[in-house]
Structure 1
Amino acid sequence: MDEPSQAERRQELRAPIELKVEYKRLNTFFADYTRNISRGGTFIRTTRPLPIGTEFLFKLFVPHLGEPLRVQGEVQWIVSEAEVEEGKHPEPGMGIRFTYRQGSTQEEIDRVVERLMVDSLGQRLYSKLMDQSRDKPGPG
């Protein structure tokens, strides 16, 4: 399988935040949970991952928001149950990259994710980790 390297997957700081997500695919509704989130994407825990390259709209249920956040994403990689059984990964699911269309809510999503990360990690640790991630050279 052509799977991105660990470094490519982690271009953004991630926080271990569990949020409910809902999405529909081929007239089937799914309700799963995130394992972690960053400004660039999330990992959705599921035993029914969508195919790599699939673009889809999902609802992200954030505690301090009255309405779920509607987010467009693309499946970048998947973790199968077999890979979990082999001890390669802790749980099955799919890595999602947030995608933005013209007139999208990228700034809103960035603000929400940043607030979630500060709430999860604390302002001091979040700021320290963000400073460290900015100092690292990017891929390429």
Structure 2
Amino acid sequence: MGGNVDGRWYDGEAGPLVRPYAMTGGRTKPGPHGVRFDLIALVAVGPGGAGGAGAGDESLLEPEHRALLGLCRAETQSVAELAAEADLPVGVVRVLLGDLLEAGHVKVSRPVPPARLPELRILREVIEGLRAL
């Protein structure tokens, strides 16, 4: 199946392989600030990734960064969706998104914590009130 061919990792069906740690430079956490990306956090193109002032820096990005940025340009996606679409491990996607966030290429909206969501009872009362109108 896989093996070492001429000093490179190779898979007969997939072709040359790049190990996840090579894509992240050995890093396992996103950015210097340790930002944590929830699987359901939504990622969209930021000011530097939409052809704005920081767009010139895009040519300096690695192919994996550009691929994630391209997916975000198509539509806002969750971290889990980006990992599936890019066919990359979630840990790798989180590190790469940390790079893109730090450079201003993407923006992330975090999910609403369950403690801040309205209670089901309140929602039912609102629905009943609207029906009574």
Give the TM interval when normalised to the shorter protein: under 0.3
Structure number with greater CO (CA < 8 Å, separation at least 6) is 2
Comparing both structures, which one devotes a greater share of its residues to helix?
2
Normalising by the residue count of structure 1, what TM-score does the alignment of the two structures yield?
Answer: 0.23
Comparing both structures, which one devotes a greater share of its residues to strand?
1
Normalising by the residue count of structure 2, what TM-score does the alignment of the two structures yield?
Answer: 0.24
